[in-house]
Amino acid sequence: MRIFLTGASGFIGRHVAAELSNAGHQLTCLVRRAPTIQADPAIQYLVAEWLKPEQWLDQLAGHEIVINCVGILRETRQASFQAVQADVPIALFEAAAQHKLQKIIQISALGADVTAAQAFVRSKALADQALSQQAIPWVVLRPSFVYGAGSYSMRLFRRLAKLPITPILGDGGYQVQPIHINDLVRAIKLCVEQQAIANCTIEAGGERMNFHQLLARLAASQGRKLRPWFVPNWLSQLLATIGTATGLGPINRAELSLLLQGNIADLSAFRHYFGFDPRPFQPHG
């Protein structure tokens, strides 16, 4: 397959590119900066700005599949959730349909909802909704947080778990369901190679646990016993307010809201389409 991959320099995109090139697919990877060493002849790099789609949309011609892995965790003055995760993806989907590609695969986020108060998940859902209205086959994958080699989130959580005293916002009872990058990439590869996987939205997650349990297992994997400090709600809200106002700090209001509401997947569609269960949580990643 000839695949156009966006977000190819990110955590998920890098793993997707490696897996698909190893499987014999030809990739055009959209990146802001080309790697200094280009050792894989199956991968071509297209250097362009995501937020300037006029620079690169015409390069879709000649491809068969588009995979969109672009996402941001925080907005900046130059890059809003709406622009990065809704406006440009919608332009990408419309161009792919005009070029009559065979399939579009969108990496969204668990909890994506067009009515959500949080702009992160709302923007993802707006793109998902627009994709579902295209005239060519499509798949939306909505993973919980993804961990594995190179995962920023897991590095952060491991450092937290190693502290002499580990701050935990709230009571730590909110649910998480981390999925290993290898399981997500395996699912994406099946979407590429199996024509029957089409016109569906699939949630993806691994072992279910609460956040306190996640940190305790990460601490144990480093030979430590977790010593939690449960940050009271008023202080959590204050830290989040400061983070929202300054763009600094460990968390902002939207991130706190998403964390406290939990992040759980319904794996029935995942099992149906992919035929396997994601692996149990692996603290060493």
- Segment 104-110 shows an average pLDDT of 96
Q: What is the pTM of this model?
A: 0.93
Q: Is pLDDT of 265 > 80?
A: yes
- Geometric angle at alpha carbon 90, from 186 and 269, rounded to 5°: 35
Under the phi-then-psi rule, with left for phi > 0, alpha for psi from -120 to 50, and beta for the rest, what region is 9?
Answer: alpha
The confidence score (pLDDT) of residue 285 equals: 72
Q: Is pLDDT of 37 > 80?
A: no
Structure confidence at residue 153 as a pLDDT band (50, 70, 90): confident
Q: Is pLDDT of 246 > 90?
A: no
SS3 state of residue 131: helix
- Superfamily covering domain 2-149+178-206+264-274: NAD(P)-binding Rossmann-like Domain (3.40.50.720)
- Segment 169-198 shows an average pLDDT of 96
Structure confidence at residue 234 as a pLDDT band (50, 70, 90): confident
Q: For residue 106, what are the β-bridge partners?
A: 68, 140
Q: What is the DSSP string of 50-79?
A: TT-GGGTGGGGTT-SEEEE----SS--SS-
* For the chain, domain boundaries: 2-149+178-206+264-274
